[in-house]
Amino acid sequence: MDPNLQYWQSNGQSFLSRLRLWFKILDPSSVLSSQVSCCIMHRSISLQYSSVHPDTGGVISPLFRSQGTVVASLLPHKGIKPALFWQFLLQTYCAGFNHANRNATATTDNKTSMKQSILIVGTVAYSTFAGALPQLILKRFRLIGAVAETFSRSLLPVPLSACLAGFSVMVVRSEEADNGIRVFDSNGNAIGVSKAAGSKAIKETALSRAALFGTTAAVPTLLLALLKRAKFVQRNPMIIAPVRHISTAIIFGLMIPVSFSLFPQFGKIKKESLEEEFQSLDSNGELFYHRGL
């Protein structure tokens, strides 16, 4: 049996078991490991799954490992130009992370690689301007006052963050739906390439990423809305900014393993949901695929 599939089948059946596993995998020390030998992989399964791509066997760049996502989250947005700058860095990082942690089994050629590069550049450009939309609204409708400020700073960032995070996954990893990804039987044997499995993997990952960024934007906003009613905070408004930054960091750090655990790393798909060539296979009705991250 394929060791990757066997490991996730035995350790990732439920949300809580996957959550415990991701807390182990997200050990900050593993992001600093640049050399992963066979010996290390056998001694430390968490190091393997945080540092080695399960499809290609190559070592993932430390910049785009799962632990590094927290680096791109705490970016200040003050004014249009700073917002565009920091959004560009954030969206570039997100696109790179999505590409580095994709399912890499799809057949590619030079034409496909060029298309993928164009899609990545387009995703970064679109998401950068869309991410700065709250600041653009504030500047354009600044005369409205409190209404525009409340909408732009408190309401709009929540769905916007979730949508842009999911959008980046859908576009950057679109080749998986176009070309298909490998599917496996219960013994870990690759039995073909499926576009339906690729689409399902992308949708699940996009939902998990939307949950990560949407929750990170929503919870601190709700917390501050409650704190602003307290007389202590009203007398000391200077504490609002530190509370926002600290709560955002905490929520984001907690949501990383939670969002990664929403769906199994090796997902299941019914044979009936796959292409026609899979219908004649002698299986128990379920096949497996690597979802990516």
pLDDT band at 41 (very low <50, low <70, confident <90, very high): very low
Q: 75-90, pLDDT tens digit by residue?
A: 456 678 888 888 888 8
Least-confidence region, from 190-194, 232-236, 289-293: 232-236
Could you tell me if 134 and 152 are in contact, meaning their C-beta atoms sit under 8 angstroms apart? Answer: yes
Res. 72: pLDDT tops 50: no
The closest alpha carbon to 196, from 269, 103, 90, belongs to 269
CA distance 108 to 104: 9
Please state, rounded to an integer, the average pLDDT across all residues of the chain: 78
Mean pLDDT of 276-289: 80
CA distance 227 to 234: 9
Which ranges of 101-156 would DSSP assign to H, the alpha helix?
110-131, 133-140, 146-150
pLDDT band at 134 (very low <50, low <70, confident <90, very high): confident
pLDDT band at 7 (very low <50, low <70, confident <90, very high): low
Alpha-carbon distances, residue 148 vs 83, 143, 163, 216, 269 (angstroms): 17, 8, 21, 22, 45
- Which residue would you say has higher pLDDT here, 64 or 160? 160
pLDDT of 8 reads 58
The closest alpha carbon to 137, from 122, 156, 123, 163, belongs to 156
Res. 254: pLDDT tops 80: yes
Length of the chain: 293
Q: How many CB atoms lie within 10 A of CB 162?
A: 22
Mean pLDDT of 52-80: 53
Share of the chain above pLDDT 70, in %: 73
pLDDT of 11 reads 59
Mean pLDDT of 226-230: 85
pLDDT band at 51 (very low <50, low <70, confident <90, very high): low
Res. 210: pLDDT tops 70: yes
- Which residue would you say has higher pLDDT here, 42 or 251? 251
pLDDT band at 127 (very low <50, low <70, confident <90, very high): very high
CA distance 69 to 203: 20
pLDDT of 160 reads 92
